[in-house]
Chain A
């Protein structure tokens, strides 16, 4: 990682968030200790929710539509379709889309039940609307290298068009060992360089076993196996401002801390996504 990672995000210089989502068959397994939740469902929900928050974040005034502060994409890997964009509906086949396109292109709006405070210390069920852009898929292998290569080939022209933008953030979500070696592709991806810094690659490993999650490690010491060490090596060192966010969440991290979480349960996964994208979310706009 090199760069200042201080670029302001604006419509002129939007940011880019690209998800790489493992859709291998093991993603249909439950999280450790939580038999009711399939990893693929949690991942899809988390990303759909983040996309919704991005649209809401950019929706600022009546009548003007959401502001294009971000381009976003979701690349799935492992499904029978191979490696490719995961969006359904009107956005099918598109890798990176603007927030405006996202706002008009959701697949459907679901109604979900959410527990909210009743104002008297209890919880009541409330129906909330939940737009989704893609459905969970879980089959076939784990072609992570091809996914990283597609990310690089997608981001290269984007970065050429957005030279002053905050460097793209790639968030790779996987639950198992890749059947193609991703290391060199990851290295090539994170060498893509913008004025404000290199592409950031964060890796989230979803746990299938009951084991303590390892968050934001600063070294590979203590990581359980070669696969964990490989994901660590692939992950970008956290820029200082994100380090501060991580510290503010109560994690003790050092300057070498990387955007990597190993053996994440569903809560840690969602929190990681939140922290990893928060600064970008906050930075967008005129404040």
Chain B
């Protein structure tokens, strides 16, 4: 990964740079950067902000539990305290150290490259307070976090404190989000004053990232001075770190322009087409991220009628031609459920770990168990966490998985009417297709089916009962299941073809079917370990297929990543004309 960084930092007007209580740090070796804003009311907060950013870059915090984060902050706090102990303090300085200590925001991002040939990778961000991360993709704002609207900037952001109990109190607002980047993207980390301007300008229809991209240190100082004079920005310390990752130079086709990420519908009677990429044998692959959604999509006011409920991640304007837009992300208002599913609350984070390093975080810890921060609508938080499940590795293996899964599934023949709650047809794979290559003892198969069905139901009909979800997840992760699955699927193992991802279909289940159409759910388990800095982690994906019978074979018309009740993420389009990789077709099977 090639990285370019730049840092712009200005003190509050009237102060000198050494009085600036913002801090920034980055690693030129790895894709890590952090920005922190020391709370002025606190003591020696510039020093605290500096120590926090330095620690984030040097030893990123494990985040699988609050206790780990607290311990990490505690270590940084010990450094701060040691520097206080070594200083000669006045009476009131001593009192302040003892009674309050210091406090600061922190936003840090960690980029990793997907695979050497890939045209991008994944990022993980941790944020507490009103310092923000913005991701610019293809000339549009793709991610804003932890705040998504200029109106959210207030006087009392949650903070990291030198005092453990105070940090613990604010940790409920900690944001841990993952996403995907592409070559050409840029990440901007900012402290609050400039971030508030950035979002306000965006809400007014501007492209503030373009403005900032033109500025060097001198012109930035003049620019900020103008904003201050025009009262368009609070007189505060200002810091921006720009991080622009680029994949290693490649010789393949260039980065494709954005296009509607809704995959194509196949024409009836045509060749079976599943527009997903299989393992990429050569050349760069475009990571299959849905570029029209973001973990925390910023809200640009709609020119049309306004919606009373802020939506999950209003999108930057993107290509709008083509098929209907996917239900998620493109509309404001609560997430729409997949057909037939209840519109329950957004599902809390699940499978994918929310970690910057360290072991996967359990679903509850990842965020749903936390009270909403109050600074962002809960559904945005949930949407952001759900988003984390879309990593590029999924699509690399998806075609293969789907092919296998479909060949392995026997369609039910009953016609099910739309129902507010998805009910899976009984034992969809209890009588495996004769053409399938299933092996293994029936008992294991039944075990898989029972567990998978339970999990699918838990995911699709999730109404906030975490324990139910977690028990389903536990049932799926038994060693017996993990071992029997490849056998059941007739495979030694389901390695996707990329070196760093192992995926397997845990199960499939038929939601509804007629003689010529069917809706199928797949549960896919991904193990991802893409960079030396990260431990491997697992992700569970629920994939929804809408299929139709064409001649004697079933075609997949729609592939959606279903991440929760009400959340469906469009499957990226595969463009076979620009990619040499073969498209994978579902296995034909008799009807």
Contact = CB atoms under 8 A, between A and B. Distances in A.
Interface of A: 8, 10-12, 52, 55-57, 59-62, 65-66, 103, 109, 129, 279, 281-287
Interface stretch (B88-96, B243-251, B293-301, B377-385): B88-96
Contacts, number: 62
Nearest to A103: B92
Nearest to A119: B165
Nearest to A283: B155
Contacts of A52: 95
Interface in B84-138: 84, 87, 89-93, 95-96, 99-100
9 tightest A-B contacts by CB? A285-B40, A286-B40, A287-B40, A59-B92, A286-B12, A59-B96, A56-B96, A62-B87, A282-B155
Nearest to A284: B41
B236 A286 contact: yes
Interface stretch (B42-50, B327-335, B422-430): B42-50
Contact of B92 (A12, A56, A282): A56
B236 A287 contact: yes
Contacts of B14: 10-12
Contacts of A11: 14
B43 A59 contact: yes
B445 interface: no
Chain B at the A interface: SS class: loop
A60 B237 CA distance: 15
A61 B92 contact: no
B233 to A, nearest CB: 12
A103 B91 CA distance: 9
Contacts of A59: 43, 92-93, 95-96
Contact of B15 (A55, A129, A283, A286): A286
B95 A56 contact: yes
Nearest to B83: A62
B231 to A, nearest CB: 11
Interface centre among A8, A62, A65, A284 (most CB of B within 10 A): A62
Contacts of A10: 14, 235
B236 A61 contact: no
Interface in B61-87: 84, 87
9 contacts: A56-B96, A56-B100, A60-B41, A60-B44, A109-B91, A279-B155, A284-B41, A286-B12, A287-B37
Nearest to A241: B155
Contacts of A8: 234-235
A10 B235 CA distance: 10
Contacts of B234: 8
B148 interface: no
B40 A66 contact: no
Nearest to B14: A12
A52 B100 CA distance: 13
Contacts of B89: 62
A10 B234 CA distance: 13
A34 to B, nearest CB: 26
Given A129-B95, A282-B41, 9 more contacts: A8-B234, A11-B14, A52-B95, A59-B92, A66-B92, A109-B91, A279-B155, A286-B40, A287-B39
B386 to A, nearest CB: 31
Given A8-B235, A282-B156, A60 B92 contact: no
A61 B44 contact: yes
A55 B42 contact: no
A62 B156 contact: no
B21 interface: yes
A62 B156 CA distance: 24
Contacts of A56: 92, 95-96, 99-100
Interface residues of B, number: 31
A90 to B, nearest CB: 15
Given A56-B100, A286-B236, A61 B43 contact: yes
Given A103-B92, A129-B95, A60 B235 contact: no
B155 A61 contact: no
A285 B40 CA distance: 6
Contact of A286 (B21, B90, B156): B21
Interface string B12-46: 10110001010000000000000001011111111
Nearest to A52: B95
Nearest to B193: A287
Interface centre among B39, B43, B89, B91 (most CB of A within 10 A): B91
B137 to A, nearest CB: 31
A10 B12 CA distance: 11
A65 B43 CA distance: 11
A283 B12 CA distance: 15
A143 B395 CA distance: 81
Interface centre among B12, B92, B234, B235 (most CB of A within 10 A): B92
A98 to B, nearest CB: 14
B366 to A, nearest CB: 28
A283 B89 CA distance: 25
A11 B235 CA distance: 13
A74 B118 CA distance: 69
Nearest to A11: B14
A68 to B, nearest CB: 13
A55 B44 contact: no
Contacts of A281: 41
A255 to B, nearest CB: 20
Contacts of A283: 155
Contacts of A285: 40-41
B92 A287 contact: no
Given A282-B155, A287-B236, A62 B41 contact: no
Contacts of B100: 56
A129 B99 CA distance: 11
Nearest to B37: A287
A284 to B, nearest CB: 7
B35 to A, nearest CB: 15
A218 to B, nearest CB: 24
Interface centre among B12, B15, B21, B95 (most CB of A within 10 A): B95
A276 to B, nearest CB: 16
A282 B41 CA distance: 7
Contacts of A129: 91, 95
Given A55-B92, A129-B95, A286-B237, A61 B46 contact: yes
A12 B14 CA distance: 9
B15 A60 contact: no
Nearest to B192: A287
B74 to A, nearest CB: 14
Contacts of B90: 65
Contacts of B99: 56
B81 to A, nearest CB: 13
